[in-house]
Amino acid sequence: MALNPADALAGIDPLLMAGAAAMTFGAAYVRGLTGFGMAIILVPLLGMIVSPGEAVVLGILLQLLIGPVGLKIIYADAHRSSALTIAAYAMIATPLGIWLLDRTTPDVARLLIALIAIGAFLLVLLPQRGELRPGPKETAATGIASGILTGFAAMPGPPVVPYYLRQPIPPAEARASMMLVFFATAIAGTISSFALGLASWRLLWLSILLFPAVLFGNWLGAKSFGKVPAPLWRSFVAIVLGVAGLSAVVRLFN
């Protein structure tokens, strides 16, 4: 039987819920501006109000809800050949990540999620690869890794962000390509979460209650995109990943 919103909030401190909404707004702003980062920032922080596994599912549900927003423009701007290939491999691999999460203890999950966030930051610092696009093997590997990380940590970004940011392509193309991939992984993650029993009506209600903060933050971030020069945009992406990794480590030790 489906829960109502009051049941979904049962046992959650109102101040913590307000803090979660504020964090969700900030993470969604980053997503609107950069094309990624919402889950990388949110999942470690949402662990303050739900368990690590529930935080992962909640992050996936929020990405699913925001995914259709601006999808027509995203699809037009993306490098569709690589984005759709990565998305296909990621959707196939996502159930494996969900399965691994279900069999991982909370402490180990927190540690791995922190390491994932830090690893993404280090990958973005690598020099650009040059004019050539990655080959089919690298594209497939990126998709598989993204899918596993979607299911395990609601973080499809660590393999995908370096894949696009290390190419000398316009920020609009990189941003749209990443957002297209992440919407696909959110669909796969949601289906897998419910099929394997990790998702619940409670988490669905929580995602709906947090969605207005996501919608407004994403809209504001999208309004800011295009006003930031490309080098500054890339630097901001690296900073976001670095802060996310640091916050994950702080949360781990607390």
In tens, the pLDDT along 206-225 reads: 889 899 999 999 999 888 88
Q: What is the pLDDT of residue 168?
A: 81
Q: Per-residue confidence at 1, pLDDT binned at 50, 70, 90?
A: very low
**CB-count burial class (<10 Å; 0-12, 13-18, 19+) for 48:** middle
Give the residue with greater pLDDT, 238 vs 224.
224
pTM reported for the whole predicted model: 0.81
Share of residues in the chain with pLDDT > 90 (%): 29
Q: Per-residue confidence at 3, pLDDT binned at 50, 70, 90?
A: low
Q: Helix axis angle, 52-66 relative to 136-153, nearest 10°?
A: 120
Q: What is the mean pLDDT of the chain?
A: 82
pLDDT average, residue stretch 61-76: 92
Is a pLDDT exceeding 50 seen at residue 165?
Answer: yes
